[in-house]
Amino acid sequence: MEITAYCHRLAVFAAMKPHQVLTKKIAMVMKLTAIILLAACLQLSARGVSQTLTLTLKNASLEKVFAEIQKQTGYSFFYEDGLLKKSKPVDIVVVKASIIQVLDMCFASQPFTYKIVNNAISVRKKEQIVEVSFKPETGDPVTVNGKVTDPQGNPLVGANVKVKGSNVGTTTDNLGRFSLSNIDPEAILEISYVDHDPQTFHIKGKTFFTIALSQKQTELDEAVIIAYGKTSRRFTTGNIATLKAADIEKQPVQNPLLALQGRVTGIEVTQLTGLNGGGVRVRIQGINSIKSGLDPLVVVDGVPYPTQLVGAGLLEAALQGGSPLNYINPADIESIDVLKDADATAIYGSRAANGAILITTKKGKAGRNKLNLNLQQGWGKVMRKVDMLNTRQYLDMRYEAYRNDGIIWTAPTFTANDLKVWDTTRFTDWQKELIGRTAKYTNVNATISGGTTAVQYLVGATYNRQTTVFPGDFDDKAGSMNFNLTSGTANQRLKIQLSGNYRYDQNRMPGIDLTQKALLLEPNAPALYNQDGTLNWAPDASGKSTWTNPLAATVSAEFSNVSKNLVSNLILSYRLLNGLEFRSSIGYTNLQSLIYQLQRLESFAPEVRPTAQRSTAMGNRNMSSWIAEPMLQYNGHIGKGKIDALLGSTIQKTSFTFLGILSTGFDADILMKTMSAARSNTIVSSITGISRYNALFGRLSYNLKDKYLLNLTVRRDGSNKFGDKNKFNNFGSLGMGWILSEEEWLRKQLNFLSFAKLRSSYGITGNDQIPDFSYLSIYGINNPTVLYQNRISLEARNIPNPYLQWERTAKWQSGVDLGVFHDRILIGITYARNRSSNQLIDYNIPSYSGFQTIVKNLPATVQNTSWEFTLNTINIRSRNFNWVTSANLTIPRNRLIKFPGIEFTSYADGTQGVVVGQPLGVKKVYHYAGINPANGNYLGLDANGNPNIDIPNRNIFIAAISNWYGGLVNSFTFKKFQLEVIVQVVRKRSTRDFEWSNGVTTPGRFGNGTGNQPVAVLNRWRKPGDDAMVPGFTTGILANSVTASDAWYTLDASYVRLKNLSMSWQLPDPLLRKLHIQNLLIYLRAQNLGVITRYKGIDPESGATGLPPLQLITAGATIEL
């Protein structure tokens, strides 16, 4: 049987040797899972794929027939309320008949038709009524006449009627009629009309047709994934945004969450670096906590997934901490759903105060076996450069600074290599040299899928390789495999679904980011390499190196990160009674990383190599989690409404370890990854944590007449992050909706309004993103080199606190969703107000107490409000040309609204970004008034408008957060061509503008006397009366520059980015038939094509001196066989 064959393949895959795919532990889990699945599949194979029924019914209602069919087969029926009122009684007697035979008999005399999709049967009004005038002799050409109407019988004017596979066709007249002459009696007609589902009919010699086309489903009827289930946008009471696979695959991104940029309201995704494997910051509806974690809950196929890499700061600083989401292959994703309000997230309880992101991977579908291949090749570049001083400008700046300071740089005792040793006529564009290369991008993906109504499968594999713009041979290679198997008994009473995703990633990127070097290196600095290819250290006459070659930390210092990621899930469901189902989900995730950073002798200057030692920093990370969630779900009718009840529980355990070791004293480079070959091994970091959750949850949804919606959610959570006094807590929400467009009075008054819904929700969610066992006293090593009685000593790091509680976030959101002109225009408006209280803070205490910190709840309340707007329009929809627009805008506001007793805490002075009435992270700066023309110093104004530069007179608050953000998507289709353009818009300020950031150089001070500067510094003060932007050049530290520059470098970092451009061409059907393929799509895609901004740094998103998101252009083809 086919089922047995699929199970056999899975068993063979699971029986592979551990070193071929997974570690031994993971392989054992997979084997056990496969054995369970094999046993279940063997049970299924006894009955095969046949779907037979035995019925004896007389004068039965259609509802009763549906109930009996569902009882015997498990197929579910879907139809609008009231549709079956016109049904006729059914008499049927069958023995072991197929489901199609039974349905054809039941619907033969009914004014309805049906359609089977997987295990669901949709019923709707009959769309086709065929009247036959005569049937001529077989083979003679016929003249076909007909009429095309909507389901109500109204004529459709201008409908397209075409003979399939030819150019013969016509359109209907003003009465909906058409006529085609000299047509093959065995031809197939294709009928289509704007905003209606197309249909095909086999003529079979018939000459007259009356055809009713049903209106297409709109975005309102598309499936939306929610916690432990799905709904549609029409009937949801929550604030949920969805991105489908078709939108994700158009963007060549490594982290799937980057595909959300510019497309979804209420979520701000920031790419922190352009390095492969780099960090991504995600904030849903603002910042809720002063000190606790701010990341949303991420769930992959029902399994919680980590959002932070433990121990990432030790070896992955250049990657900005990295992101576990980089190990989820975007090509495997079917949809990403962003849950924002309490109605959507409260069922996750203590983990969803910052929202939730549900990632659903692709599943197999019933139908023929399909092979899909995607081949993609691309190239990446840094798209912007900072205008820096050339050699002449730089040297003039240096000379002027020495003159201003009265320093004689030519004195023998004075060191100035850039002026005395290096070639003063040499110029190197270091941005071109260090970050100006072309990165290569390769992606190959293959997927096989198919199945029957009893078994569906999908197996896919992906290979991806990316290089970098830095000098050297660096790349990031990844291979992944995903599979999904869904099966059920003949009556669909028992169903099994097994899915898995495994990714192996080998990242060999540089251990440091060269972007800052590219900006700050002196323009006359020496060449990188000697003529023999070795690194150039530019020795002086004495043989001493005069600079640190920037490639010493990259080419001669190896960085590698090998990661293995597994996400697996098994879902078993059993229908106990009609409408009552038991379901259990068991999931396991494991993320392992082995990181090496090697410093060879070649990375040291030649004169220090005799005493230098080879060293290796090694990090070993292991993060794993398993979860079991048994549930009972009931679907039924109460009165005139539909009820959906869910009751479940959660048992979850998450553990992680990180071990960091510094090894020194290797005798040869080849031994540097063998720790036992080192003379010294020192543990520099050891982190271990275990989190456990127990929970009970429930949800009750009621839909009355498809008008009135009610959704009630409750959850009781238990966590080992809190002591016995507060180990458990309750969370919940209430959501309501009213579909006004179903009211008769509204239809009569506003007939252009095809859909209107009011929705509102309120609920409480929690946040527990604090270190494990924070309620206990944690001990750590004081100083491993200082022993007590010949033993390493431990010290208590914090005071125990058994009264710790969850942070609680109260979320209230209300909105309206509108559809105009048959949903050609869809409008969504949401107002959200979230208040987070009982703040969990790692509070510093005086060292004389004997402790460092105490984790406690402080009575502070953080409020986030936002307006979210969405607009989707079908501008043009015709036979050959379509134009669709989607726009979104989010206006967030963040504020600390109260903090009783703040004056008695370490936040009292406002220097930590915590000020009542201001956004979190606010910076207090001067009221900047420019450069004092009299003396060239910075000029600030006090609260009374008087010049004053003293620190206590900083009186302006500036927060580096977004004032608003959004995007605009336009999609054009002309015949087989498609063009899509995504524009991202962000309005914000930045505290890291390159020109004025003291993280690089303070205006008026030039590091240690060297270091290049942006050309803007040429507008400096020289003499009394000058109107300048910066003080006069100097080699020293200007106190007023340091203290005042914070106001000056907090500048506008708003930008408009052409985020994505995608062009594609689909081969015409005749050409596909000649090539014997099902489909071929050729495409050209570009990411980060350009940016418009006033920001003076290299990129307003990633910051002043980090590698920006690369401009990536790819070309490829997708083939379906």
pLDDT tier at 17, thresholds 50, 70, 90: very low
Report whether pLDDT(1048) > 70: no
Mean of the pLDDT values across residues 894-921? 89
Same domain, 60 and 39: no
Nearest to 665 by CA among 676, 654, 655, 656: 676
Q: Which residues contact 762 (CB under 8 A, 6 or more apart)?
A: 342, 733, 734, 810, 811, 812, 813
| Confidence (pLDDT) at 1005 | 52
Which tokens in the block code for residue 50? 């046949």
pLDDT in tens, 700-730: 999 999 999 999 999 999 988 888 888 899 9
| Confidence (pLDDT) at 700 | 96
In a domain, 965, yes or no: no
pLDDT in tens, 977-990: 999 999 999 999 87
- Domain total of the chain: 4
Question: What is the DSSP code string of 877-891?
Answer: E-SSEEEEEEEEEEE
pLDDT in tens, 507-526: 988 878 899 899 889 999 99
Same domain, 71 and 176: no
Report whether pLDDT(818) > 70: yes
The CA-atom distances, in angstroms, between 862 and each of 269, 471, 688, 732, 833 are 21, 46, 31, 20, 11
* CATH number of the domain where residue 194 is located: 2.60.40.1120
Name the β-bridge partners of 237: none
| Confidence (pLDDT) at 1073 | 86
| Confidence (pLDDT) at 216 | 66
The SS3 assignment for 627 reads strand
Report whether pLDDT(169) > 90: no
Of 125, 153, 173, which residue sits at a domain end?
Answer: 125
The dihedral through the CA atoms of 281, 283, 289, 292 has a sign that is negative
pLDDT in tens, 433-490: 999 999 999 999 999 999 887 899 999 999 999 999 999 889 999 999 999 999 988 8
pLDDT tier at 1006, thresholds 50, 70, 90: low
* CATH number of the domain where residue 288 is located: 2.170.130.10
Q: Which residue has the higher pLDDT, 949 or 390?
A: 390
The CA-atom distances, in angstroms, between 649 and each of 339, 585, 691, 722, 734 are 20, 10, 17, 20, 20
Q: Which residues contact 226 (CB under 8 A, 6 or more apart)?
A: 236, 238, 240, 337, 339, 344, 358
| Confidence (pLDDT) at 559 | 86
Same domain, 261 and 205: no
Q: Rounded to 5 degrees, what angle do the CA atoms 62, 66, 71 make?
A: 150
Q: Which residue has the higher pLDDT, 479 or 952?
A: 479
> What type of residue is 1081?
L
| Confidence (pLDDT) at 627 | 96
To which H or E segment does residue 313 belong? helix 312-315
In a domain, 966, yes or no: no
| Confidence (pLDDT) at 52 | 72
CB atoms under 10 Å from CB of 818, counted, come to 18
Nearest to 452 by CA among 486, 479, 428, 480: 486
In a domain, 744, yes or no: no
Same domain, 257 and 357: yes
To which H or E segment does residue 1043 belong? helix 1039-1048
What secondary structure letter does DSSP report for 529? B
Mean of the pLDDT values across residues 346-361? 91
| Confidence (pLDDT) at 371 | 94
In a domain, 64, yes or no: yes
Report whether pLDDT(429) > 60: yes
Same domain, 92 and 181: no
pLDDT tier at 942, thresholds 50, 70, 90: confident
Same domain, 119 and 205: no
| Confidence (pLDDT) at 1049 | 54
Same domain, 177 and 249: no
Mean of the pLDDT values across residues 987-1011? 55
Q: What percent of the chain has pLDDT over 70?
A: 88
Q: What percent of the chain has pLDDT over 90?
A: 47
Mean of the pLDDT values across residues 48-60? 68
| Confidence (pLDDT) at 1010 | 66
Choice among 155-159, 624-628, 996-1000 with the minimum mean pLDDT: 996-1000
Separation CA 25–CA 751 (nearest Å): 63
Same domain, 206 and 314: no
Mean of the pLDDT values across residues 382-393? 93
| Confidence (pLDDT) at 668 | 94
Mean of the pLDDT values across residues 90-108? 79
Number of H helices, E strands in the chain: 15, 56
Mean of the pLDDT values across residues 374-379? 96
Of 363, 387, 412, which residue sits at a domain end?
Answer: 363
Separation CA 1058–CA 1088 (nearest Å): 6
8 A C-beta contact, residue 251 and residue 260: no
| Confidence (pLDDT) at 75 | 79
Q: Which residue has the higher pLDDT, 1041 or 855?
A: 855
8 A C-beta contact, residue 931 and residue 937: yes
Q: Which residues contact 195 (CB under 8 A, 6 or more apart)?
A: 215, 216, 822, 824, 874, 877
In a domain, 86, yes or no: yes
pLDDT tier at 1042, thresholds 50, 70, 90: very low
pLDDT tier at 338, thresholds 50, 70, 90: very high
In a domain, 874, yes or no: no
In a domain, 345, yes or no: yes
| Confidence (pLDDT) at 5 | 33
Same domain, 183 and 78: no
| Confidence (pLDDT) at 948 | 67
How long a stretch of residues is the chain? 1121
Tokens 């910052």 label which residue? 354
Separation CA 548–CA 595 (nearest Å): 25
Separation CA 75–CA 578 (nearest Å): 11
Average pLDDT over the chain reads 84
pLDDT in tens, 102-160: 887 888 778 888 877 666 787 877 654 433 333 444 467 888 888 888 776 778 888 88
pLDDT in tens, 750-780: 888 999 999 999 999 988 888 778 888 877 7
Separation CA 406–CA 763 (nearest Å): 68
Separation CA 377–CA 466 (nearest Å): 10
In a domain, 996, yes or no: no
The SS3 assignment for 1071 reads helix
Mean of the pLDDT values across residues 11-34? 40
Same domain, 66 and 115: yes
8 A C-beta contact, residue 295 and residue 306: no
| Confidence (pLDDT) at 131 | 39
In this prediction the pTM is: 0.81
Query: CA dihedral in degrees (86, 91, 94, 98; nearest 10)?
Result: -10
pLDDT tier at 783, thresholds 50, 70, 90: low
Same domain, 15 and 80: no
| Confidence (pLDDT) at 462 | 96
Q: Which residue has the higher pLDDT, 9 or 274?
A: 274
| Confidence (pLDDT) at 195 | 66
Same domain, 182 and 98: no
pLDDT tier at 250, thresholds 50, 70, 90: very high
Mean of the pLDDT values across residues 228-237? 89
pLDDT tier at 41, thresholds 50, 70, 90: very low
* CATH number of the domain where residue 107 is located: 3.55.50.30
CB atoms under 10 Å from CB of 105, counted, come to 17
pLDDT tier at 640, thresholds 50, 70, 90: confident
Nearest to 383 by CA among 892, 836, 1059, 1081: 1059
Of 45, 62, 79, which residue sits at a domain end?
Answer: 45
Q: How close are the terminal C-alpha atoms of the chain, in Å? A: 24
Domain with 59 in it: 52-125
pLDDT tier at 47, thresholds 50, 70, 90: very low
The SS3 assignment for 593 reads strand
8 A C-beta contact, residue 965 and residue 890: yes
